[in-house]
Amino acid sequence: MVESRFAAQLETHRRYLLRVATLQLRDSTLAEDVVQDTLVAAIQGEQGFSGKSSLRTWLTGILKHKVIDAIRQKARSPVLAPIEDECRVDDFDALFDESGHWENPPADWGNPEAQLSEQQFFEVMQQCLEKLPPNTARVFVMREVMELETDEICMQLTITSNNLWVILHRARLALRQCLEQNWFAANAGSARTSPSTRV
């Protein structure tokens, strides 16, 4: 009985795990297998869950190893375009003018921490992650969601640290811009007229 309650709790994180796995693997069947493996491992390893971290954090830790295994096994038949295609620094030219100033300087986000209590914010963030180029999304999620060290990512994906930094830089520029356009600017415009703020 207790066991099935734990399984039911795990189930509520399936969608999150699937989205995070898909961002890194770009293969929905493989991602589903990896998530299934993760949930099975979690049920078998229930004793290992101390409750010190959240259940989701714990599951993310298991998923991390499963994703790395999957990437390693797929390394000889890469599904993604060469990672070098996403390492070119001249791609950033459009964001800056000739003298190196921002074409569209970052806007004032006010107090962004207040957004973290809104579920909808995380949905927009997830959508912004999904819009990143495939290798960029993979690397960025490995770094910021899986919290892998940069050396570990370089080793698993066989890229140089400089390429890694360029890709992370690209991800941050793009994600920041996407959040500004789809959340902060959108919210600033609708704040006054939104019925939910008046009620």
When asked if residue 158 is in the footprint of another protein (CB under 8 A), the reply is: no
When asked if residue 150 is in the footprint of another protein (CB under 8 A), the reply is: yes
Tokens of 57: 């954090």
Nearer to another protein by C-beta: 79 or 93?
A: 93
- Rounded Cα distance between 38 and 42, Å, is 6
CB of 60 to another protein, least distance (A): 5
When asked if residue 113 is in the footprint of another protein (CB under 8 A), the reply is: yes
- Rounded Cα distance between 41 and 182, Å, is 37
The number of beta carbons lying within 10 Å of the beta carbon of residue 42 is: 23
CB of 51 to another protein, least distance (A): 13
The number of beta carbons lying within 10 Å of the beta carbon of residue 132 is: 21
Tokens of 17: 């795990």
Count interface residues toward another protein (CB under 8 A). Answer: 39
When asked if residue 143 is in the footprint of another protein (CB under 8 A), the reply is: yes
Contacts with another protein, 58-97, as mask; x by CB under 8 A: --x-------------------------------x--xx-
Task: Specify the DSSP class assigned to residue 76.
Answer: T
Q: Where are the alpha helices (DSSP H) in 26-86?
A: 28-44, 55-74
When asked if residue 120 is in the footprint of another protein (CB under 8 A), the reply is: no
CB of 102 to another protein, least distance (A): 5
* Residue pointed to by tokens 């991602």: 31
- Rounded Cα distance between 120 and 5, Å, is 27
When asked if residue 119 is in the footprint of another protein (CB under 8 A), the reply is: no
Sites for another protein among residues 90-109 (CB under 8 A):
92, 95-96, 99-102, 105-109
Q: Where are the alpha helices (DSSP H) in 45-160?
A: 55-74, 119-131, 134-144, 150-157
Q: Which residues bind another protein (CB under 8 A)?
A: 53-54, 56-57, 60, 92, 95-96, 99-102, 105-109, 112-113, 115-116, 121-122, 125-126, 143-145, 150, 161, 164-165, 168-169, 172-173, 175-176, 179
